[in-house]
A and B are shown apart, each in its own frame.
Chain A
Amino acid sequence: GENVEQHPSTLSVQEGDSAVIKCTYSDSASNYFPWYKQELGKRPQLIIDIRSNVGEKKDQRIAVTLNKTAKHFSLHITETQPEDSAVYFCAASSDFGNEKLTFGTGTRLTIIP
């Protein structure tokens, strides 16, 4: 089955700086890669996703890049703000669509004011 590794497990960044979180996956058939943000005690929220036919996708301060050859994808957050503090999870799906996501273990991002 699919295996997703996520690094780092914790990340502290000065407000205004950029944050980068990296994930690798094992199944070359994986074709859907979402990122979720989870604040303490709350539900995971989809913040951006990318499919394997695209190398990069951007939404305001958030971007995701995908390297299919190396089987890794990354989340980039620019101009970080205190409200970006949360746990971020990457995921991958090796099914046709999004039926079964395999999640990484999460990155706790802390923005230092």
Chain B
Amino acid sequence: NAGVMQNPRHLVRRRGQEARLRCSPMKGHSHVYWYRQLPEEGLKFMVYLQKENIIDESGMPKERFSAEFPKEGPSILRIQQVVRGDSAAYFCASSPNRDTGYTFGSGTRLTVV
């Protein structure tokens, strides 16, 4: 089992561009979570998805951010018109059900210049 795979590991975008972050959950895991971590801070919940459904997006900024987890393929976190404040590490995690601890991916470090 390859674990939770995130790509790219590092992403540099200019202000105003779009950022697409990908997450492939562990085999057999149908629950996906996205968290954001600013430098020297804890992780902040963004969104929880199951296949083709957004279950809880209460941590997502109302504008510019969206997430999906299609029937086929990885989960995508999309940030439109990035700003400097979007620079952070974005971690994806997966679990097989609601009662099992997460496994995190290695994260995508987004830098907006």
Contact = CB atoms under 8 A, between A and B. Distances in A.
Interface string A88-101: 01000001111111
Interface residues of B, number: 27
Interface residues of A, number: 22
Main secondary structure of the interface of A (DSSP, over half): loop
Interface stretch (B12-20, B69-77, B80-88, B90-98): B90-98
Interface string B25-37: 0000001010100
B100 A42 contact: no
A99 B99 contact: no
A76 to B, nearest CB: 19
B64 interface: no
Give 10 closest A-B pairs by Cβ, nearest first: A97-B98, A103-B42, A43-B104, A46-B101, A103-B43, A43-B106, A105-B42, A100-B45, A44-B104, A99-B48
